[in-house]
Amino acid sequence: MFIICTPTTIKIGSNRPRVSKNPVSEAITAAAPGCQITLQSGKYSGFTLGFKNGSPRNSRSKGGLPGRPITITGVGDVWIRPGQGIQDTISVNQQTKNGYFTFKNLKIEPGNRAAIFFFILNGGQTHDGFKFIDCHILGSWNHALNKGKKSKWGLWGHSMKNFEFRGTRGKARVENIQQEHGFYIQNAQGPILIENVQAARLGRTFCQFTARAKDGPVGIGSITVRNCDVSDIGLFKDDNYKGGSAFTFAGRLTGDILVENNRYRAGFNPQLARLTRKGAPYGTGALVCWTAGEKVKNRKVTLRNNDFEFAPGCGDRPLVSIGGCDQVLITGNNRFVSGGKQPALALDPLKGGPGSPPISQRNGRVHLSSTTVVSGRTEFNGRKITDNKLAALQSTPASPKPQSKRLKR
| pLDDT at residue number 400 | 66
Integer angstrom CA distances of residue 22 from 27, 42, 73, 200, 208: 9, 13, 16, 32, 33
Final residue belonging to a domain, choices 59, 75, 109? 109
Report the candidate in 278, 354, 342 with the shortest Cα–Cα distance to residue 311. 342
Write out the DSSP string of 371-391: T-EEES-EEETTEEPPHHHHH
Alpha-carbon distance 383 to 375, whole Å? 16
With respect to residue 121, please indicate whether it lies within any of the assigned structural domains: no
Instruction: Give pLDDT tens digits for 220-273.
Output: 999 999 999 999 999 999 999 999 999 999 989 999 999 999 999 999 999 999
Contact 38, 2 (CB under 8 A): yes
| pLDDT at residue number 83 | 84
**Mean pLDDT of the 373-385 span:** 96
Report the candidate in 149, 194, 197 with the shortest Cα–Cα distance to residue 173. 197
Contact 114, 88 (CB under 8 A): yes
Q: What are phi and psi of 114, to 5 degrees?
A: -145, 160
Final residue belonging to a domain, choices 109, 134, 151? 109
| Per-residue confidence band for 144, with pLDDT thresholds at 50, 70 and 90 | very high
With respect to residue 340, please indicate whether it lies within any of the assigned structural domains: yes
> Is the per-residue pLDDT at 395 higher than 80?
yes
Query: Count of domains in the chain?
Result: 2
Instruction: Give pLDDT tens digits for 178-226.
Output: 999 999 999 999 999 999 999 999 999 999 999 999 999 999 999 999 9
Query: Among 76-90, 147-161, 183-197, whose mean pLDDT is lowest?
Result: 76-90
With respect to residue 79, please indicate whether it lies within any of the assigned structural domains: yes
Q: What is the mean pLDDT of the chain?
A: 95
The widest CA-to-CA distance across the chain, in whole angstroms, is: 76
Report the candidate in 256, 379, 232, 408 with the shortest Cα–Cα distance to residue 329. 256
> Is the per-residue pLDDT at 405 higher than 50?
no
With respect to residue 355, please indicate whether it lies within any of the assigned structural domains: yes
Range of the domain at 350: 245-269+279-399
Instruction: Give pLDDT tens digits for 271-311.
Output: 999 999 999 999 999 999 999 999 999 999 999 999 999 99
With respect to residue 44, please indicate whether it lies within any of the assigned structural domains: yes
With respect to residue 329, please indicate whether it lies within any of the assigned structural domains: yes
With respect to residue 134, please indicate whether it lies within any of the assigned structural domains: no
| pLDDT at residue number 95 | 97
With respect to residue 262, please indicate whether it lies within any of the assigned structural domains: yes
Final residue belonging to a domain, choices 75, 109, 143? 109
Same structural domain for residues 105 and 251?
A: no
Q: CB 276: neighbour CB atoms within 10 A? A: 20
